[in-house]
Each structure stands twice: as structure tokens, then as C-alpha cells.
Amino acid sequence: MPEQGGLNGVGLDDLLASTRRALETVRGVRPAGGEPMIGTGTAADEQVRVTAAAAGEIVAFDVDPRLLRLPSHELSVHLMAAVNAALADLRAKAVDAAVPGDVDRLGDQLADLHNESVRQMERFTTAIAGAVAQIRARGQ
């Protein structure tokens, strides 16, 4: 990563933008069509259907009304099985969509961002210490 310039805010903005792009790469896993990735799961002979989104949210939950006659502990087992199946489907799709080389590149980019953030903070600290020294010198 090229050396960022000064404390004018531009270097920090560039650093934050790079960090956001790196995080969006991980968070925004989408299949080739561009639609958000979803996982689906069923249980109890498809009487429970669950859809999970890449953000880890359950976006659809359908239960056949006949299943509601079951004792609560038995119903909860079916509900949990459908949710877990949807999450497992989502994880499998995310793994299939990921490119192993991209993970290595992302790790390198994040290491570079970390190193640059340390350098930026050192420059910021030095500038603050200089300003404090000047204020103290004027006060004497």
C-alpha cells in the first residue's frame, strides 16, 4: 500500500475506504446474479420452511398449521431443525461462492491496512505532542 500523506484527513479517509471495501468483500457474498445469498431449510416433511439471508437473519418462516397441534417441545425440535438446515445451506453456498485466493489477498490487504493505521496513529500522536509542546512554550 502506498504511503498515505499527512494528517489532512485524506490519508485517513483513504484508509477507512479501503477497510470498508475489504469488509464488504466478506459481508456482501452474492452469487453470480447479484441477488443476496439465501439459504433454505425444511423439517417435519416440509411442514416447516425457513429462509435465512447472508446477514444471518431469518427472512421467512412458514409453519403448516397442522403442525401446531404438536406438543411445544416436539414443535420446537422441528423449528430448530428447519432453522439449522437453512443456516447450513447458507454456509454451504457461501463456501461455494468464496474463492480461496481471495481470502489470502484479503488477509494481505487487512494486514496492510493494520500497518498503515498504526503509521497514521503514530503521525497523529506526534502532531498532537508537537502542538501541546508549542502551547506549553507559548504559556511560559
Highest mean pLDDT among 32-41, 92-101, 122-131: 122-131
Task: Indicate whether 36 and 87 sit together in one domain.
Answer: yes
Round to whole Å and give the CA distance between 82 and 41.
5
pLDDT for 34 beyond 80: no
Q: Are residues 23 and 36 in the same domain?
A: no
**Residue 90 shares a structural domain with residue 38:** yes
pTM assigned to the model: 0.49
State how many domains the chain has: 2
Q: What is the pLDDT of residue 122?
A: 86
Q: In which domain, by residue range, is 44 found?
A: 31-97
Looking at the structure, tell me whether residues 43 and 87 fall in a common domain.
yes
Residues 64-105: tens digit of each pLDDT: 999 999 999 999 999 999 999 999 998 888 777 665 556 677
Q: Work out the mean pLDDT of the chain and round it to a whole number.
A: 78
Q: Which residues contact 29 (CB under 8 A, 6 or more apart)?
A: 37, 54, 94, 97, 98
**Angle at CA of residue 92, ends 24 and 82, nearest 5°:** 110
For residues 79 and 14, what is the distance between their CA atoms, to the nearest angstrom? 46
CATH number at residue 88: 3.30.1310.10
- What is the rounded average pLDDT of the residues 23-32? 55
